[in-house]
Amino acid sequence: MLLIFGLGYTAGRIAAAWPGATMGTTRDGRDGTLRFDDEGAVRPAIAAATHILSSVPPDGDADPVLCCYGDALSGRWLGYLSSTGVYGDAGGAWVDERAPTGTGRRSARAAADAAWLDRAAHVFRLPGIYGPGRSPLDRVRQGRAHRVGLPDQVFSRVHVDDIVAGVLASVVAPAGAYNLADDLPCSQDDVVTFAARLLGLPPPPLVGIETLSPMARGFYAENRRVANGKAKRVLGWRPAYPTYRLGLRALNAMTSPTPASAAPAAASGDQR
């Protein structure tokens, strides 16, 4: 059985693809999950689990899962969804799993990343995640996208289904850190402009970086390209969406209405 701490967007996709039984925790125990702080329910679930995955981010300077349940985790496959933010700013250079961590704004995340590695976990360092219902296409449609005019500010990203594939492939692979990222780092402006083009809309407005929130400005303060060679070599993983163009085209095809001329003729009766 797989027990997932923090059954959110990405972890939920992993649970749906997992070949066996799964359980999950959330803060409030919604939708049939276990409430994270209900130790009377969570500790028996840990005891029953063969595999444990955490997607819970640090709370302040501490990792909540390790603080609350670290004493019960040994003897199982462990996984942790981390962030490529642990690498900090690389000035646009490529970083792989050998690059130093803990020098950027994500110091607490880097500490949690290291703590899970110390427990022989599979640590998945993830860049910007996009997928169904959560992509530049959605932000453009909703009028929430913008460009900042920084073409040399480069980021990596990954489709959520490629994260799922990487986690599943790691079950029989050695523990350690793995970057799960696509093959085409680029500027955020390139991505949102392409999303707008797919939707037949004008490019989002150009805004000054000084108008953004402190959190958003922090995002643009770091510049790196994330290398995924280790995941390819060790896990045998290949992203189904190696570029944002392929990923966004696939998402757009999922949501585009079927032309009337191509729609099948309706049959009589109730079609559900």
Question: What pLDDT does 106 receive?
Answer: 80
Whole-angstrom CA distances from 83 to 113, 179, 239 are 8, 9, 17
Q: What is the mean pLDDT of residues 98-110?
A: 91
Question: What pLDDT does 103 receive?
Answer: 85
- Confidence check: pLDDT of 117 > 70: yes
Residue 257's pLDDT band, with cuts at 50, 70 and 90, is low
Q: How far apart are CA 27 and CA 64, in angstroms?
A: 11
Question: What pLDDT does 267 receive?
Answer: 29
Q: How far apart are CA 20 and CA 79, in angstroms?
A: 16
Question: What pLDDT does 20 receive?
Answer: 95
- Confidence check: pLDDT of 256 > 80: no
- Confidence check: pLDDT of 64 > 70: yes
Which of 52-61, 242-251, 256-265 bottoms out in mean pLDDT, i.e. has the lowest? 256-265
Residues 6+ apart with CB under 8 A from 252: 137, 198, 199
- Confidence check: pLDDT of 270 > 70: no
- Confidence check: pLDDT of 264 > 90: no
Which of 168-172, 214-218, 224-228 bottoms out in mean pLDDT, i.e. has the lowest? 214-218
Question: What pLDDT does 221 receive?
Answer: 87
- Confidence check: pLDDT of 131 > 60: yes
Q: What is the mean pLDDT of residues 120-125?
A: 98
Reported as a single tens digit per residue, the pLDDT across 43-60 is 999 999 999 999 999 999
- Confidence check: pLDDT of 272 > 50: no
Spatial contact of 126 and 81, defined as CB atoms under 8 Å apart: yes
Question: What pLDDT does 104 receive?
Answer: 79
- Confidence check: pLDDT of 21 > 90: yes
pTM, rounded to two decimals: 0.92
> For the chain, how far is it from start to end, CA to CA, in angstroms?
32
Q: How far apart are CA 174 and CA 151, in angstroms?
A: 37
Reported as a single tens digit per residue, the pLDDT across 170-200 is 999 999 999 999 999 999 999 999 999 999 9
Q: What is the mean pLDDT of the chain?
A: 92
